[in-house]
Amino acid sequence: MFQFAAIVQAGSRRSFPLPRHESLRIATQAILVAVAVITQCMLTQRLLADQVTRPNIVLVMADDQGWGDTAYNGHPLLQTPHLDAMAATGLRFDHFYAAAPVCSPTRGSVLTGRHPNRFGCFAWGRPLRPQEITIAERLQAAGYATGHFGKWHLGSVLKGSPVNPGGSGFDHWLSAFNFYDNDPVLSREGTAVEIKGESSLIAADAAIEFIHQQVELEKPFLAVVWFGSPHGPHRAAPEDRAHYAGKKQADWLGEITGLDRAVGKLRTALREAEVSDNTLFWYTSDNGGLRPESSGGRAKKGSIYEGGLRVPAIIEWPARIRAPRVTQVAANTTDIYPTLLELLEIEPASQPVLDGVSLVSVIDGTMDRRPRGMGFWDMKQAGVSTPSDKWMREELAAQQAGREYHDKSRLVLDAAQIKTKFPADRRAGHAAWLDWPWKLHRIQVGKAQSDELTWELYQLGDDPLETKNLAGIHPGRVAAMGEELDRWQASVIDSLNGQDYDAPQ
Ligand SMILES: [Ca+2]
C-alpha cells in the first residue's frame, strides 16, 4: 500500500498541466501498481487462509494397543502420561474402531478410506493393491511433503516394489516390512540400514527429522508414524521396563510406555518447531488389544467382536479444537481419509467407493451421530508371513555383498493382479453391521450357502461386552440391519473383483 500511496501523492503534487501522454503514463503506472498491491494482498490472505485450511497432518498408529491399554482409559498399571495429556486437551473418541481386527487391513483402510476387503487385504501380510489411491498420493498432489516411518505391512519395503511406501505416495520413508523391535534393520527408501535404539523412538526421530526439513522448506507435511509396539515379542527398553519392576507383564507394559514416550517426543518437536498449533495429530491403534481384560469389549485382536476392534483414538489440533472434548460418535479408521480430504478441500475428479465418512463436523462439535452404519467382515482368508527382522537382515547382508536383492519375490510384483474372482453372492465368514448402539453379527463358518448361519444382535450402550443376544426379540431390526449388511457386502465383492478400477482415475 505504501508504494501505491506515494505515487498517487507524487502525482497530485504536480501543479502544472501535463501533456496527455504523460497523464496516461502516470494513470497506467498507478493502475499497474494498484493491481500488484491488490494481488499481493490476495496472496497474503490466501497464505493466511492456507495456514488455517492446510494444517500439517501427523497420523500415529500403535500396533495391537487395545482400547483399555492406556492410563486415561483406566488401565490399572500402565503409565501413558503423553497420551493422557493428549486426551485431556484434544478430542477424545470413546467409540473408535479399527476397520479390521488385525494389522495390514486396518493400515490399508487408513490410507484409502475403504474397507480393506475391497482391495483384497483380508488379513495380515496382504498387500495394498497399487490401483488404490492413498491419502499420501492425494496430499502429495496437493503440494504436501509426505513421509512414512515405522511399520508398513502393506506389501514390501524393497526398492522397485509397486507396493512399497514410495509406490503409495510417500516421498520419504524409513520403514519395516512388518512389526519390528529395538535395534532394527529398516529400509530407508529401499536401502537397508541398521539403527540402534528403542523401536518407537526410532520412528519418531525419523519423523521429527522429516518435519524439521519441511518446516525449513515452509512446506505442509503429512507424517505417517506407525509403531511396531506393543506387538509381540515384548522387549521393552530398560528405562521403560523399570516402571514395572517385579510385574509379570513388565515388557508389554514397558513397550506401551515406550511408544507413549515417542508420542511425547513428537509433540514436543512440533512445539519446538512452532508448528504444533496448526498440526492435526491423530493417534489410534490398528486393532484391538492382546488381553481381553483391557480390550474394552468381548474377545481380543483377531475378532470382530468389540474387543478386537475398539481402539484408543485422540485428535489434537489446537488451532481448531480449542477446548478439550469427548465424543460418543462411533467412528473408524476408514474415516481418516475422507476427513482429511474435506479439511484440505481436496475434491478428486474420481473416487472409488468409500466406506469412511468425513468427521469434520465431529472435530467442530456439530455431529452427534454418524450418518451411516459401518461394516466389518472377516472373510477367514489366510495371512501371509513377512518377518521383517529376518528379511531385512538378509537384504542388508546381500547389499553389503554387492548384490541388489536377497530375494526378489519380496517385491510382490504381482500385487496388482486380481487372480481370484469371488462369486457375487459370497457372504461367508464373520461379518457385522454396526449402527450405534446396535450391532448385528452374521456368522457363517463354512463357504457353502447351506452352511449354518447365525445372527446375533447386541445393544452396545447397555451391553458393551456383547453378552445378551437380542436377535430373537428384535426380528424386524435383524431383518433391516441384515439387508444393509447384505448390500454392503455385495458392494465389497464388486470392489474386490476389480469393478472400481474400470473407470479412469
Ligand atoms: Ca496389529
Mean pLDDT value across residues 227-250: 96
Residue with cell 478430542: 91
Give pTM, 2 decimals: 0.89
Structural contact between residues 62 and 82, judged by C-beta atoms closer than 8 angstroms: no
Structural contact between residues 327 and 370, judged by C-beta atoms closer than 8 angstroms: no
**pLDDT at position 32 over 70:** no
Q: What is the pLDDT of residue 2?
A: 31
Mean pLDDT for all residues in the chain:
92
Distance from the alpha carbon of residue 64 to the mean position of ligand 1, in angstroms: 4
pLDDT digits (tens, 9 = 90+) for 278-328: 999 999 999 999 999 999 999 999 999 999 999 999 999 999 999 999 999
Q: From CA 173, how far away is CA 140, in angstroms rounded?
A: 14
Which helix (H) or strand (E) segment is 309 a member of? helix 306-309
Mean pLDDT value across residues 404-429: 95
Sorted by sequence, the CB contacts under 8 Å of residue 165 that are 6+ apart come out as 136, 148, 152, 157, 173, 175
Q: What is the pLDDT of residue 504?
A: 46
Distance from the alpha carbon of residue 33 to the mean position of ligand 1, in angstroms: 59
Distance from the alpha carbon of residue 66 to the mean position of ligand 1, in angstroms: 10
User: If pLDDT is split at 50, 70 and 90, which confidence band does 4 have?
Assistant: very low
Report which of 97, 136, 300 is spatially closest to residue 222, judged by C-alpha positions.
136
CB atoms within 10 A of CB 505: 13
| Polymer length of the chain | 505
The 8 Å CB, 24+ separation contacts for 10-14 are none
Mean pLDDT value across residues 401-419: 96
Distance from the alpha carbon of residue 121 to the mean position of ligand 1, in angstroms: 14
Structural contact between residues 66 and 286, judged by C-beta atoms closer than 8 angstroms: no
Distance from the alpha carbon of residue 69 to the mean position of ligand 1, in angstroms: 14
Q: Residue 91 carries which side chain, given as an amino acid letter?
A: L
Distance from the alpha carbon of residue 286 to the mean position of ligand 1, in angstroms: 5
Which helix (H) or strand (E) segment is 271 a member of? helix 250-272
**pLDDT at position 449 over 90:** no
pLDDT digits (tens, 9 = 90+) for 168-198: 999 999 999 999 999 999 999 999 999 999 9
**pLDDT at position 448 over 70:** no
User: First vs last Cα of the chain: how many Å apart?
Assistant: 45
Distance from the alpha carbon of residue 199 to the mean position of ligand 1, in angstroms: 15
Q: What is the pLDDT of residue 422?
A: 96
Q: Looking at 3-12, 210-219, 239-248, 415-424, which range is the least confident one? A: 3-12
Distance from the alpha carbon of residue 503 to the mean position of ligand 1, in angstroms: 33
User: If pLDDT is split at 50, 70 and 90, which confidence band does 29 have?
Assistant: confident
Please list, residue by residue across 143-169, b when 16 or more beta carbons sit within 10 angstroms of its beta carbon and e when fewer do. Answer: ebbbbbbbbbbbbbbbbebbbbbbbbb
Report which of 261, 302, 309 is spatially closest to residue 284, judged by C-alpha positions.
309
**pLDDT at position 14 over 60:** no
Distance from the alpha carbon of residue 409 to the mean position of ligand 1, in angstroms: 24
Distance from the alpha carbon of residue 128 to the mean position of ligand 1, in angstroms: 16
CB atoms within 10 A of CB 88: 11
Q: What is the pLDDT of residue 35?
A: 64
Distance from the alpha carbon of residue 476 to the mean position of ligand 1, in angstroms: 36
Distance from the alpha carbon of residue 383 to the mean position of ligand 1, in angstroms: 13
Distance from the alpha carbon of residue 233 to the mean position of ligand 1, in angstroms: 12
User: If pLDDT is split at 50, 70 and 90, which confidence band does 53 have?
Assistant: low
Q: What is the pLDDT of residue 9?
A: 35
Q: What is the pLDDT of residue 254?
A: 97
pLDDT digits (tens, 9 = 90+) for 215-225: 999 999 999 99
Q: What is the pLDDT of residue 43?
A: 53
